[in-house]
Amino acid sequence: MGWHTVIVPRFEPFAALRFSQSIPLSDVCAPPYDVQSDKDRERLGLRHQHNIVHVDMPIGNEEGNARYIAAHELLQSWITAGVMQRDSTPSYTLYRMHFRDTLGRTRSTVGVLGALEVVDEGAGGVLPHERTTPKAKTDRLELTRATQANMSPVWGLSLADGLSALLADAGEPLGDYSDDLGVHHAVERVTDPDRIAAIRAAIGAQPVLIADGHHRYAISRTYRDEVRQTTGRYDSPAELTLTYVNELVDEQLSVAAIHRLYRDVSLEALQHTLSESFELESIDTVDESILADMNQRGTLTLLTGDGAVLRMTPRPNVFEGVRDLDSARLEHALRNLEHVVDYQHGFTEVRSAVANGEYTAGVLIRPVSIAEIRRTAHEGILMPPKSTFFTPKLQTGLVIRELN
């Protein structure tokens, strides 16, 4: 259902904790914890003794929370040594990314890092945009408790028109670098009171939709409740959480698909059930260019464990009343078939997982349109799990927000 009374969140500047400008950001920043493999974490840890993974992804076999306490002590030692420095005044941080998207187009985006209000589930103002899958939350909660800091930002989408224009002018340059995927990241500090007021007012005028980091936001809510219970305070830093916000418009967002992998079901049963909702047509072995072809044709692609590649064209009238999302179509088509679904955003990874026998089949789907994301937000409903994969991923270590 849509909103009747529009509830809006607070979005505040804060005194950010940042790496010293004497240290190259490329040495100390990292992708978010939830997209890193063990090898990624090891490689980044070896890159520099102060890489943020040493705090954000602490390792150790100790019982209990020893490694999280060690992460806290390490962070404090960096602050004492001047490796990390605290802003003298509250600020916003403009965050620009320049990259090539999955279709090869050159893109530039801008958003702002600040502190977004933590609201109760269902209270409005800060809205989820898709159903979440169960995930263990203990690790991030333990890290937050120990470090008393927000390490990685939630990604929020603002429904406020004109936010991108408001963020266009440069702030005070703090550093830039290109990551291992060729994405160029640049951050700029904003301390001017008038500009801070304008950004606060713009983002605070409309609800914010969570694009990425639903679990991080849920952890922030749990932590906030613990602080309230322990201290009796409803005005602590835990009332807000580190969030990157950009405008919900096409030119500011790059959305990739999260493809489907199916197991615990026979290929015969899966293919038969899909054929009731899709016309299946055999095609030649495909490469990554199939994704652009699917966008043009309005089709999906089935990759089977026996090596077949099938174009999936939705049958007429089958999906009447179903949302204009491939993820929703697949949920609808397979609703009466027992199966297990997993998720993978990479074309190559999907093809490999099917080819090596891990899965019965995989289905390549198309990205969700920005128009559909905006419509979902306005109607206040949720997409199926793992419908969107926003790229590039926001780096951890550009800004840390302390909670004490």
Tell me, what's the pLDDT at 62?
64
Nearest Cα to Cα of residue 94 among 185, 162, 163, 167: 167
The confidence score (pLDDT) of residue 331 equals 95
* pLDDT band at residue 136 using 50, 70 and 90 as cut-offs: low
Query: Residue written as tokens 């026979």?
Result: 266
Average pLDDT (238-244) is 98
**Average of per-residue pLDDT across 146-169:** 95
What's residue 135's pLDDT? Answer: 56
Q: Is the pLDDT of residue 1 over 60?
A: no
Domain definitions of the chain by residue range: 11-255+389-402, 258-366
Integer Cα distance of 106 and 97 in angstroms:
11
Residue 251: predicted pLDDT:
85
Is residue 2 pLDDT above 50, yes or no? Answer: no
Name the pLDDT band for 312 (thresholds 50, 70, 90).
very high
Average pLDDT, the chain: 91
In this structure, what token pair is assigned to residue 121? 């589930």
Q: State yes or no: cis peptide before 90, omega within 30 of 0.
A: no
C-alpha dist (Å) from residue 148 to 51, 78, 114, 244, 253: 19, 15, 17, 19, 31
> Residues 187, 106: contact at Cβ < 8 Å?
no
Q: What pLDDT is recorded for position 377? A: 73
CB 19 within 8 A of CB 83: yes
Q: Report how far residue 26's alpha carbon sits from residue 183's, in angstroms, rounded to the nearest whole number.
A: 11
pLDDT score at 153: 97
Model pLDDT for residues 203-223, shown as the tens digit of each residue: 999 999 998 888 899 999 999
The answer as to CATH 3.30.1760.10 being correct for domain 258-366 is: yes
Q: What pLDDT score does 158 carry?
A: 93
Phi-psi region of 79 (alpha: psi -120 to 50; beta: other; left: phi over 0): alpha
Amino acid 3: pLDDT: 44
Question: What pLDDT does 75 receive?
Answer: 98
pLDDT at 315 over 90: yes
What's the pLDDT at 129? 62
> Which percentage of the chain shows pLDDT scores above 90?
71
Q: Are 177 and 137 in contact (CB under 8 A)?
A: no
How much is the pLDDT for 384? 73
Of 314 and 325, more confident: 314
More confident residue, 126 or 335: 335
The pLDDT tens digits for 359-392 are 999 999 998 888 888 787 777 777 777 777 888 9
* pLDDT tens per residue, range 266-301: 999 999 999 999 999 999 878 888 888 898 899 999
Q: Dig out the tokens for 85 from the structure.
A: 């420095």
Q: What is the pLDDT of residues 100-118, one digit of tens each?
A: 887 778 999 999 999 999 9
